[in-house]
């Protein structure tokens, strides 16, 4: 559930930060409220699961071992190094959100074999594609739409996945 919590928080941030013009005010506010409500539902599920969770007998698989740390280190280097390169190349600010979506998506795809959980590759591929789409759009006259495509839609993917997997996990625990 902790991974879902992190995904939901980042998803909500993606939506809240990137929902703006050229969308109208009603759409912007609706997206932001829906994102916050979705994140709040995952937070509630996390607390509920944490209260019911019992320490497992026997050894537990460490999800945050060496493979995870290597991927996160690479993600940090790619994120901040890439953002610096984009700035040095004089790329428009909207390109940044596309780069972030791309790197976060690749991070999920890379984590799938490490965690032996191929379900996280699905949002990873979608985020990667949304990042690529934003990078392509950033080179066109449609640059104003990059925050919606790479930011808001990436946030919606993260939130939808977190809520869906959270509900599934909660249903499995009560069954």
Mean pLDDT of 37-52: 90
Alpha-carbon distance of 154 to 39, in angstroms, equals 14
Contact 162, 143 (CB under 8 A): no
162 — pLDDT class (breaks 50, 70, 90): very high
DSSP string, 94-131: HHHHHHHHHHHHHHHHHHHHHHT-GGGHHHHHHHHHHH
| Residue linked to tokens 């930060």 | 17
pTM of the model: 0.89
- pLDDT above 90: residue 17: yes
105 — pLDDT class (breaks 50, 70, 90): very high
98 — pLDDT class (breaks 50, 70, 90): very high
- pLDDT above 90: residue 170: no
Alpha-carbon distance of 63 to 112, in angstroms, equals 11
* DSSP assignment letter at 140: S
Name the residue with higher pLDDT: 127 or 170: 127
Q: Angle, to 10 degrees, between the axis of helix 25-52 and the axis of helix 2-18? A: 170
pLDDT computed for residue 51 by the predictor: 78
Alpha-carbon distance of 52 to 54, in angstroms, equals 6
- pLDDT above 80: residue 173: no
Report the length, in residues, of the chain.
175
Could you read off the pLDDT of 115-142 as tens digits, one per residue?
998 989 999 999 999 999 999 999 999 9
Alpha-carbon distance of 71 to 60, in angstroms, equals 21
CB-facing half-sphere around the CA of 83: CA atoms within 13 A:
12
Which among 175, 146, 162, 171 is positioned nearest to 11, based on CA atoms? 162
175 — pLDDT class (breaks 50, 70, 90): low
pLDDT computed for residue 150 by the predictor: 97
């Amino acid at each position: 559930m902790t991974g879902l919590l992190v995904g939901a928080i980042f998803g909500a941030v993606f939506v809240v930060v990137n929902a703006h013009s050229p969308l109208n005010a009603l759409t912007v506010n609706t997206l932001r409220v829906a994102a916050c409500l979705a994140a709040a539902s995952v937070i509630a599920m996390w607390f509920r699961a944490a209260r019911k969770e019992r320490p497992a007998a026997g050894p537990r698989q460490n999800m945050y071992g060496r493979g995870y740390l290597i991927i996160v280190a690479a993600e940090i280097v790619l994120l901040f190094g890439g953002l610096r390169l984009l700035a040095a190349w004089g790329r428009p600010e909207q390109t940044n959100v596309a780069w972030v979506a791309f790197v976060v998506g690749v991070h999920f795809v890379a984590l799938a074999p490490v965690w032996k959980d191929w379900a996280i590759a699905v949002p990873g591929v979608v985020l990667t594609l949304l990042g690529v789409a934003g990078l392509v759009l950033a080179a066109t006259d449609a640059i104003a739409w990059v925050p919606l495509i790479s930011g808001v839609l990436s946030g919606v993917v993260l939130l939808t996945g977190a809520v869906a997997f959270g509900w599934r996990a909660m249903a499995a625990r009560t069954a």
